[in-house]
Structure 1
Amino acid sequence: MFQRISALFWVLAALVSLNDAAESAWNGVVTPGASDPQPFTPYYLPSGAKSYDSSSPLLHYSGQWTDSFSSAFVFNTLRSTSERGASMTFTFFGTGIEWFGNQDQRHGISQVHIDGKKVQEVDAWSSTPLKQQRIFGSHQLRLGRHTLKIVNTGQNRAEAKGFVMDVDALIVLMVPHAYSTVHRSNYLDDSAQPFSDYPPLFSLASEPNPASEWSLVQEGITGVSAMQLTVISDSHALIFDKVEHNPLSIYGHPAWAALYNLDTNALKPLAVESNSFCAGGTFLSNGTLVNVGGNPVVEDHTSAADFGDLDGLQAVRIFEPCNSEDVENCIIYENHDRIRTTSPRWYNTVLRISDGSAMIIGGSRKGGWINNATVNNPTIEYWPPKNVAGSDGLQIHLPFLVDTLNANLFPIAFSLPDETVFMAANQDAMIYDWRRNTERRLPRIPNGVRVTYPMAGTAILLPLSPTNDYAPEVLICGGSTVDDTQPGYQISAQDPASAQCVRLLLTDDGISAGWQVEQMPQARHMPDAVLLPTGDVVIVNGAGTGISGYGNVVGQVGASNADNPVLTPVLYRSSLPLGERFLVSGMPTSSIPRMYHSVATLTPKGNIMIAGSNPNLDRTEVAYGTEYRVEWLNPPYMSMERPEITGGVPSLLGFSESVKLSVQLPSSAPANADVQVALMDLGFVTHTVHANSRLVHLVSSLSQDQHTLTITGPPGEGVYPPGPGFIYLVVDGVPSVGVKVLVGDGKSPEVNQTALDNLLSQTQVDQYEKSKKGKGKGKASSGPRDVQDPSLL
């Protein structure tokens, strides 16, 4: 029977590919019933999990309980009690448990016990009635038999109108995901045993290695799948996902963005109006983050119809600087009537350029899989809009993005010291002069390797140094030689990835010499390349076979288009000679596959945060499942005595400005220690693209007493585009903790009012929805509008 169904599937897939190739980029599986509206509540049964109704005989109740019946409840039933001491007990076999129920003003406080130990007190009170809410969840139990017990304490908060505790359903999971979905604000008893006391199924801390002392530790959860990641301050990182049934909730529905505390692992869910699936992002010159593009309103391909999100394809989401440890008032702002791109963009790269604005590059006009000529968006535009090459705020055609079809989504891009932009897509590369709107094509990437989605490699701009006049050099690693004109049913999840790395020095002599080719110890696509303050590069994450995406190719693992996860990172020592740069000995190995939609970033502390992996339509618990666990890759210097920047870092570091810092060198540092200062942009990371990732060595001099370090800001906007960064003091290869600074004058990029008015008058709101349904989700623009509040720019 399975073989007949499988054969039918591929016949249908072939017909879809032949009939729809002229328009849709989609070549995957349509979820059964996905076009039927359904409430977007936290209750969701992932594949591989099992749900138990409140009426199940396996749930044992004590005390007085009342049964209620409604189609708003899971399986139409709910059991509730207001009796002090009433309890429910459930014994299960698995690694995780979730408890779902209602929330309103009548609900009170409950105690949660696992295996006889009190783990939390949770408050189910809500000012507004909410159904099918996740009241409690834990997913880090050892695989085995466990007992959950919830007890009504008969207590409530002052504004509550009752003591209700109810049970709608329980979900048992069988795989080791370590996340808790009880919000920190609901933790009432700080003395209760934290979830971290329950060990995960696998110990992910590596054994100490005397030779290297690299370590990998699993600690923390992201709450939303980490598709996009960026560090926003000394203490927090910002995570974006797509609209799906994440365990973290906000306003009664699953969240798809969150702030992650890098010190405490605490989470704050963020409200996002539109679907940020496959968006790009960058900081602007004043430190504001823009998150651009996304996916249409979800209806038929990616999951439930009634997620309530707006069309994200033209969204420009604004996140103003949020540098305090207190992130209570940090929000994401959207207004599609006034703040939008000129055209729909899915899988666009967003880059901060030398004037501090955002260059928005390419993408597809609708969500799907691989790009093609009918949905390609071979243009660039800017935010805020500007008048470049006569564009007057509108998009500018880029022939490079036509010539690089089909595998050219999320193009690789870096702003260069001469204020031009390096771009790579598919097998090609160029230098783009954005002021003159001219392209300089570069030698093709060798050996037929494609390096952008869905044959995604990763890239990094190697450190810029005054010793060679900031000559830029790019490194591109991984990818695939799979033919990008083939339909999915001719591509296999077992097609090998590429082990190739290539370097190109972007000077006239370097371009003439061409790409320098070397091979990684292991082939991988979908890797992440993370710059360290030392100038070395860590390559982590990815798979050994297949391509990016899900639901498209032969031999999928679950829904994943890729297989054979590469679990061991590799160190690339960029300053060493060819043939000596890769080091894998002593690097720790993970047990967590980091496949499609994985990320990694350097943190201010100097270690690497690794998160994500979700090659699926929605959250799932089967291979390769939706991953929420966070890992921390610690270089050897994390356990050494480290230098410190003890004072003097200005809030603004001007170009060529001299500043005196107070520093403390390690006690073992010799008088002739090698002292360097690394100014770093930690980048916006998604889909192997580390937009804006950058390391600039600053000119510096150390006082005779070794306590005062004079540094000079970067020489101009080309070397370091104005915007946020972190300063690391590096002594004999050991960096300090990074300190955040804003490079430049801190002002917003210029707002060209005429260009903005023209964009608003010449374009429509949510064009994809309008073209599909005859009307958009928002109102069509009726003419020029005033610029938004300058504080949002």
Structure 2
Amino acid sequence: MAARKPLLFWSALVSCVSVVLGGDSAWNGVTQKANNGLSSLGTSLFTPFYVPPGARAYDSASPLVLYTGAWVESFSSAYVENTLHSSSRKDSSTFFSFTGTGIEWFGNTGVRHGIADVYVDGVFIRAVDTWNDVSRRQQRLFWQYGLTHGRHNIKIINSGRRRTGSRGHIVDVDAFVVTNPGEATVTQRDSRPPSKPALRQNSGWTLTQVGSTGVNAMQLAIISDSHALIVDKVEHNPLEINGHPAWGALYNLHTHSIKPLSMQSNSFCAGGSFLGNGTMLNVGGNPVVEDFTSATDFGDVDGIQAVRLFQPCDSEDVDACDILDAPSQTHLASPRWYTTAVRVSDGSVMIIGGSVKGGWMNNATVNNPTIEYYPPKSILGSDAPIYSAFLASTLNSNLFPVAFSISNGYVFVAANNDVMLYDWRANTERRLPPIPNGVRVTYPLSGTALLLPLSPETGYTSEILVCGGSSIDDNRPSWEISSQEPASAQCSRIALTEEGITRGWEVEYMPQARVMPDAVLLPDGQIVIVNGAEAGIAGYGNVQSQVGKSNADRPTLTPVLYAPRAPLGQRFSSEGMPTSDIPRMYHSVATLTPNGDIMIAGSNPNLDRSEMMFGTEYRVEWLKPPYMTQERPVILDVGGGEKRLGFDKQIVISVQPVSGSSLRGRDVQVSLMDLGFVTHGVHANSRLVYLVNSVDDNKITVVGPPNGEIYPPGPGWIYVVVDGIPSVGVKVMVGN
């Protein structure tokens, strides 16, 4: 048989030319040839073999793939390049040498398949069980990313083992996909120094890369002391479930293992929040997209009115945990793409704005200027979505509004560069001074924002910090906007008291301009700002001078620390902070973990998974403050093991101080934190409330928040901070 050349691309099995459900495109105006013509979700006809732009595929008959032992070559149109190599003989092996940063192995699964041992660069990685009770073709059986760019090899050995119930020992090789096969990707093309000098030096901070999310981390929430929930849009992720790519996963914070979730609808640009009973609510998304603007036809269902529910799952064993995703049974009252969800003082979730279909920048023809609630409720005698004049007047850049429930029971909302306080019970809007200097902070001119820590010493006065974004005119068409236009370094801060509103916004500047940043609260009240870019805007495939498909360029790779209590002009510092080599731009996330470090993941400014410039990122980074390497206090018990914190009720926390010393005479704070739901720079519900406390030796008596206006009822995390050093957080349920 004549030697074949490596497979450099994948032709569509069936040309898929149809229309989006409802007749409209929904993918940022980008067109890309569909990859597969597929049937319904999870059937045996689904073939997840995919070669991302910038990657390279080699079929099983490539002369670069070497076989040892008894292998049989088969021919069928069901195989990549019509060929497949199989072996049922123990110790038969395949060896493939490649240049790149990652490797994927594709083959078949079925009832007669067995277990293979996989080695990369001579090191055993894991055993791969290729058995399945459903026969499937072109399945991704193994993947390994994050290799140093250079020469590597993979060896697959038929172990001769099989699971109980398997009827054979077959191991297949259909194709390999090599990621980043060319020159090492340049992560930052512009090495100009930060636009502002660093103000303070930070020592002891570290940044490490450990783990892979398996699905792009577009949305992120901590659900327990051991797991994070990750949600993505419909695309060719390497993690699979039921024979198709997964679009959601549970990430184990301790072992870095991942479990795919069985999502049915397209959660592209959905919003999310915890409900008062601890259930994670994920709402909205994208319709089914079946024309050339889709990644491919995955068999997903319409997600633009979806209500996805993830019930509390606090065990480290998450085998039985999954997400309920049945839009035909439970759905929103109106379509919402790029919507924000925020928990209010009665524990329900207010769902704000969005668009009635996908697109790029919002406009009057697709704007959804309404608010609704989950669970649904009647406001002023009506349970229909409530019209908002504010959301109607803030076009065009008003998607993913910034929203926080504040201490007087109102909701702070920012969209574009406009701001209001919303009385959700009375349905009244009060306009506040706009964000200064024409800086816009919501998609696609995305900034980030936080509610600053609430303290009983100040009467729980609410202050809002809004950082980054862009001053680009949102009426300009995309063809007049460039990825090289500078982002904003501005941070604006306002106290939401009558005196503070009269005084207006206080303006300061980050060391670097940032669009699409993430701001994360630490248990000691400081704030870390990560991710983003110095130029361009959010999204992909829209503006001039795209980098790959990215609308932004010049990634910001160094974190910035913000000290809210420091004097104006002395709050920012970046010197001494570790610098990443991973761009984190559109579809990136960051969150505080129960352990007290910061989980950083995501980035995918592309229609589908890509390996080109600013391609899809699955690597996870962990930014560790100095206290992570110091002796830390340990929470031994909360409330007698009940881990409940009622409003204005006392509970006792038992603590093991550092070095076995007493807590007496120490600076002790108890931080109650909502770690929030993170997507697109929006940190919905992120919150820190300092609890009133009294210390008696190694026990701390704390008083719960006064009411749901100070801390909306729901899940939270208690950190005990002794002399500036926080404990590991303990999950509690807050409220009555």
> In structure 1, what is the equivalent of residue 706 of structure 2?
715
Distance apart, 1:164 and its partner CA: 0.7
> In structure 1, what is the equivalent of residue 658 of structure 2?
666
Q: Which amino acid aligns with 2:732?
A: V
> In structure 2, what is the equivalent of residue 421 of structure 1?
411
Q: Does the 8 Å CA contact 1:558/1:623 hold for their aligned counterparts?
A: yes
Match 1:629 to one of 619, 622, 626: 619
> In structure 1, what is the equivalent of residue 510 of structure 2?
520
Match 2:157 to one of 148, 151, 174: 151
Structure 2 gaps of 5+ residues are 1-22, 40-44, 185-199
Match 2:178 to one of 172, 175, 200: 172
Write out aligned runs for 1:254-403 (5 A). Answer: 254-300=245-291, 302-392=293-383, 394-403=384-393
Q: Which amino acid aligns with 1:538?
A: V
1:554-607 CA distance string (max 9 Å, x none): 000000000000000100000111111011121111110001000000000111
Q: Does the 8 Å CA contact 1:646/1:663 hold for their aligned counterparts?
A: yes
CA distance in 2, matches of 1:302, 1:348: 21
CA distance in 2, matches of 1:387, 1:710: 39
> In structure 2, what is the equivalent of residue 112 of structure 1?
118
Q: Deviating runs (4+, > 6 A) in structure 1?
A: 22-26, 175-178
CA distance in 1, matches of 2:182, 2:713: 43
> Which TM-score applies when normalising by structure 1?
0.85
> In structure 1, what is the equivalent of residue 649 of structure 2?
657
1:376-403 CA distance string (max 9 Å, x none): 00000000100102322x2000010111
User: Higher mean Cα deviation, 85-94 or 290-299?
Assistant: 85-94
Q: Which amino acid aligns with 1:515?
A: W
1:133-158 CA distance string (max 9 Å, x none): 11112223332222322121222112
User: Higher mean Cα deviation, 255-264 or 669-678?
Assistant: 669-678
Distance apart, 1:23 and its partner CA: 8.6
2:635 corresponds to 1:645: yes
Q: Which amino acid aligns with 2:350?
A: M
CA distance in 2, matches of 1:741, 1:125: 41
Match 1:699 to one of 678, 681, 692: 692
RMSD: 2.0
SS in 2 for 1:402: helix
CA distance in 2, matches of 1:486, 1:419: 37
Match 1:229 to one of 210, 216, 220: 220
Match 2:166 to one of 160, 177, 180: 160
Distance apart, 1:49 and its partner CA: 1.2
CA distance in 1, matches of 2:662, 2:507: 37
Q: Does the 8 Å CA contact 2:25/2:289 hold for their aligned counterparts?
A: no
CA distance in 2, matches of 1:27, 1:48: 21
2:568 corresponds to 1:578: yes
Distance apart, 1:530 and its partner CA: 0.3
Write out aligned runs for 1:439-518 (5 A). Answer: 439-518=429-508
1:175/1:694 Cα in 2 relative to 1: closer, same or farther (>3 Å)? farther
User: Higher mean Cα deviation, 154-163 or 341-350?
Assistant: 154-163
Distance apart, 1:73 and its partner CA: 1.4
Larger helix share, 1 or 2: 1
> In structure 2, what is the equivalent of residue 63 of structure 1?
69
Q: Which amino acid aligns with 2:315?
A: S
CA distance in 1, matches of 2:544, 2:273: 35
2:528 corresponds to 1:538: yes
CA distance in 2, matches of 1:242, 1:25: 12
CA distance in 2, matches of 1:690, 1:176: 37
Q: Which amino acid aligns with 2:734?
A: V
Q: How many residues align?
A: 691
Distance apart, 1:66 and its partner CA: 2.1
Match 2:724 to one of 733, 746, 750: 733
1:237-296 CA distance string (max 9 Å, x none): 000000111010100111010000111101010010100110010011110111000011
Distance apart, 1:40 and its partner CA: 4.7
Q: Which amino acid aligns with 1:688?
A: G
SS in 2 for 1:432: strand
CA distance in 2, matches of 1:584, 1:147: 39
> In structure 1, what is the equivalent of residue 595 of structure 2?
605
CA distance in 2, matches of 1:233, 1:145: 40
1:110/1:61 Cα in 2 relative to 1: closer, same or farther (>3 Å)? same
Q: Which amino acid aligns with 1:248?
A: L
> In structure 2, what is the equivalent of residue 789 of structure 1?
none
CA distance in 2, matches of 1:153, 1:27: 47
1:115-145 CA distance string (max 9 Å, x none): 3333322110111111111111222333222
Q: Does the 8 Å CA contact 1:727/1:738 hold for their aligned counterparts?
A: yes
1:615-652 CA distance string (max 9 Å, x none): 00111111101000110111111111111211134332
Write out aligned runs for 1:16-27 (5 A). Answer: none
2:20 corresponds to 1:28: no
SS in 2 for 1:447: helix
1:211/1:529 Cα in 2 relative to 1: closer, same or farther (>3 Å)? closer
Residue identity over aligned pairs, in percent, reads 63
Q: Does the 8 Å CA contact 2:202/2:575 hold for their aligned counterparts?
A: no
Match 2:147 to one of 138, 141, 149: 141
1:529-576 CA distance string (max 9 Å, x none): 000011111111000000000000000000000000000010000011
SS in 2 for 1:128: coil
CA distance in 2, matches of 1:26, 1:261: 31
CA distance in 1, matches of 2:320, 2:227: 14
1:547/1:211 Cα in 2 relative to 1: closer, same or farther (>3 Å)? closer
> In structure 2, what is the equivalent of residue 682 of structure 1?
675
1:127/1:40 Cα in 2 relative to 1: closer, same or farther (>3 Å)? closer
CA distance in 2, matches of 1:313, 1:720: 30
CA distance in 2, matches of 1:91, 1:44: 20
CA distance in 1, matches of 2:555, 2:416: 22
Q: Does the 8 Å CA contact 1:250/1:271 hold for their aligned counterparts?
A: yes
> In structure 2, what is the equivalent of residue 773 of structure 1?
none
User: Higher mean Cα deviation, 298-307 or 710-719?
Assistant: 298-307
CA distance in 1, matches of 2:619, 2:709: 38
Q: Does the 8 Å CA contact 2:295/2:608 hold for their aligned counterparts?
A: no
Q: Does the 8 Å CA contact 2:99/2:182 hold for their aligned counterparts?
A: no
Distance apart, 1:301 and its partner CA: 5.4
CA distance in 1, matches of 2:370, 2:292: 26
Distance apart, 1:422 and its partner CA: 0.4
1:654-673 CA distance string (max 9 Å, x none): 10010111112223778432
> In structure 2, what is the equivalent of residue 83 of structure 1?
89
SS in 1 for 2:449: strand
CA distance in 2, matches of 1:474, 1:574: 11
Structure 1 gaps of 5+ residues are 1-21, 179-208, 746-793
2:410 corresponds to 1:410: no
> In structure 1, what is the equivalent of residue 609 of structure 2?
619
> In structure 2, what is the equivalent of residue 6 of structure 1?
none
1:40/1:689 Cα in 2 relative to 1: closer, same or farther (>3 Å)? farther
Q: Which amino acid aligns with 1:32?
A: K
Distance apart, 1:676 and its partner CA: 0.7
CA distance in 2, matches of 1:407, 1:177: 37
1:491/1:268 Cα in 2 relative to 1: closer, same or farther (>3 Å)? same
Q: Which amino acid aligns with 1:726?
A: W
CA distance in 1, matches of 2:429, 2:84: 64
1:424-461 CA distance string (max 9 Å, x none): 00010000001100000000110000000000000000
CA distance in 2, matches of 1:693, 1:670: 28
SS in 2 for 1:637: helix
